[in-house]
Structure 1
Amino acid sequence: MSRTAVIAGVGPGLGESLARRFAAEGCQVALFARSTDYIEELADDLPESGEGLAVTTDLTDVESIEAGFDTVRDAFGPVDILVNHASAASWTGLMDTSVEEFEEAWAVNGRGAFVCSQEAVGDMLDTDGGTVIFTGATSAVRSLGGSIGFTAAKFAARGMAMDIAQEYGPEGVHVAHVVIDGQIDSEAVRERLPDRDGETFLDPDEMAETYWHLVEQDNVSTQPFEVHITNGSQNSEFM
């Protein structure tokens, strides 16, 4: 039976790779993002073994998120897999960050993931469980200094993932947090860092394999909570 996956926050790079990998496994994949044209093109270009659905969603807006999940249920049925993948950041420190910038990072990384998780886990509790994956960053486990909004939001999301895992793991909901420790390879990143050795970048297709492996663990008794993805380079520009 095909599984329904929601990827909340899809763009070029890892979000696209996740969509393609999940569709290759036969999933019905709903793509949440504000960039309508991009996700519509991607939904039409996913592997034929799966099915794509573009759902224009503002992940800072509670009603938009709720409407997005209603759209998914109408098209595919209840949600089996959720990837909280959206991210927003202002790369500034305490005295240079406005309240508005701080709240925007929280609205996406924190509140948006919270609402998405409520919607998805509600479905999972009514069926046979499922998988919720949070995309984290180095800043979720170790402050780097000078990026207070992003760090606070990512710490909050990691704590939320832990809490959901403890509360609903016994109910069949596998929750995992992925720490991304490095720069994900993309055309935009290579343009921004032209002097960087391409081998230091993280391959999004290989990363998507790790996410799918987490999904495959949803029916086993011993489930990983946290996975740390890195290329091992000490010269990476961490997220």
Structure 2
Amino acid sequence: MPRTAVIAGVGPGLGTSIAERFAEEGCSVALLARSEAYLDDLATRLRAETPGDALAVSTDLAEPSDIEAAFAEIRDALGNVDVLVNHASAASWDGLLEQSTDDFRRAMAVGPEAAFRCSQEAVSDMLDGDGGTVIFTGATTSVRGRTGSVGFSAAKFASRGLAQSMAQELGSEGVHVAHVVLDGVIRPPGGVPEDETQSYLDPDAIAERYWSLVEQSTDTMDFEVHLTNGDGTVEFL
């Protein structure tokens, strides 16, 4: 039976690669973001080019009511949720004294708070069914703060803590919770590097690792996967 997968935070980069990979496996993919036109075009393409189904759900992930309405629409159209990817983030690149309260709050709202609310919605379905998978997209700043990135670092640390707590709570219930540290710069959309001297992470290869987590047996589960290009010279996320 095909899985229903929710990608919370879809843009023209890694979010799209994840949606494509899951749809290639026959998943019914729900695409959540504010960019309604982009989501509609992507959903149309996925339905035409893959075995899976796709549903565009315009959602402001900083708004709890939007999240609740989005999951109600997903259940009506695709059924209960089997897989959730918490992929959204929002942050201005500011240090402590430059960081505005509004920007800091938005980083937390779109990051860990949205992940918390999406996880509550999805996991309730998983526990009523045969389990499932929740994947968090992390960054180097999930495990090591960086200068000039107060909001982003705080949000990523909080999301990792949420993921760890969920993994401890839900693993015995058949829900696999995983956190992926993306330690490097992801290749920009279109495959044309902005800087030819820069080493990039491949979004399609990352999406393949996400899918391997979905298929992993719950007898022995990875919690954290650390992906890097390994040259040690990139500016970390």
TM-score (norm 1): 0.95
Give the 3 Å change call, closer, same or farther, for CA 91–189 of structure 1 in structure 2.
farther
Find the residue that maps to 1:78 and give its secondary structure. coil
**Residue 179 of structure 1 is aligned with which of 173, 181, 199?**
181
Counterpart position of 2:107: 105
1:1-40 to 2 correspondences below 5 Å:
1-40=1-40
- CA RMSD of superposed structures (Å): 1.3
Tell which deviates more after alignment, 30-39 or 141-150: 141-150
1:207 aligns with 2:206: yes
Give the 3 Å change call, closer, same or farther, for CA 209–79 of structure 1 in structure 2.
same
Find the residue that maps to 1:144 and give its secondary structure. coil
Counterpart CA distance in 1 for 2:148 and 2:231 is 22
1:227 aligns with 2:225: yes
How many residues matched? 235
Q: Deviations over 1:101-156 (max 9, x none)?
A: 11010001111110000000010010010000000000000111221111011000
Counterpart position of 1:237: 235
Counterpart CA distance in 1 for 2:189 and 2:19 is 18
Counterpart CA distance in 1 for 2:111 and 2:168 is 20
Q: Contact 2:171–2:218 (CA<8 Å) still a contact in 1?
A: no
Tell which deviates more after alignment, 40-49 or 29-38: 40-49
Q: Deviations over 1:134-192 (max 9, x none)?
A: 0000000011122111101100000000001101111010000000111111148957x
Aligned-pair CA distance for 1:195: 3.4
Counterpart CA distance in 2 for 1:154 and 1:15 is 17
Counterpart position of 1:155: 157
Counterpart CA distance in 2 for 1:72 and 1:220 is 25
Counterpart CA distance in 1 for 2:196 and 2:102 is 33
Counterpart CA distance in 1 for 2:197 and 2:23 is 31
The one-letter amino acid paired with 1:27 is C
Stretches of structure 1 lacking an aligned partner (at least 5 in a row): none
Q: Contact 2:86–2:137 (CA<8 Å) still a contact in 1?
A: yes
1:117 aligns with 2:119: yes
Give the 3 Å change call, closer, same or farther, for CA 190–235 of structure 1 in structure 2.
farther
The one-letter amino acid paired with 2:207 is A
State the 4+ residue runs in structure 1 displaced beyond 3 angstroms: 187-191
Counterpart CA distance in 2 for 1:60 and 1:220 is 31
Q: Contact 2:33–2:60 (CA<8 Å) still a contact in 1?
A: yes
Q: Deviations over 1:182-239 (max 9, x none)?
A: 1111148957xx33425x111101110000000001x331100000111002111211
Percent of aligned positions that are identical: 60
Counterpart CA distance in 2 for 1:189 and 1:117 is 32
Counterpart CA distance in 2 for 1:129 and 1:156 is 24
Give the 3 Å change call, closer, same or farther, for CA 35–181 of structure 1 in structure 2.
same
Counterpart position of 2:86: 84
TM-score (norm 2): 0.96
1:141 aligns with 2:143: yes
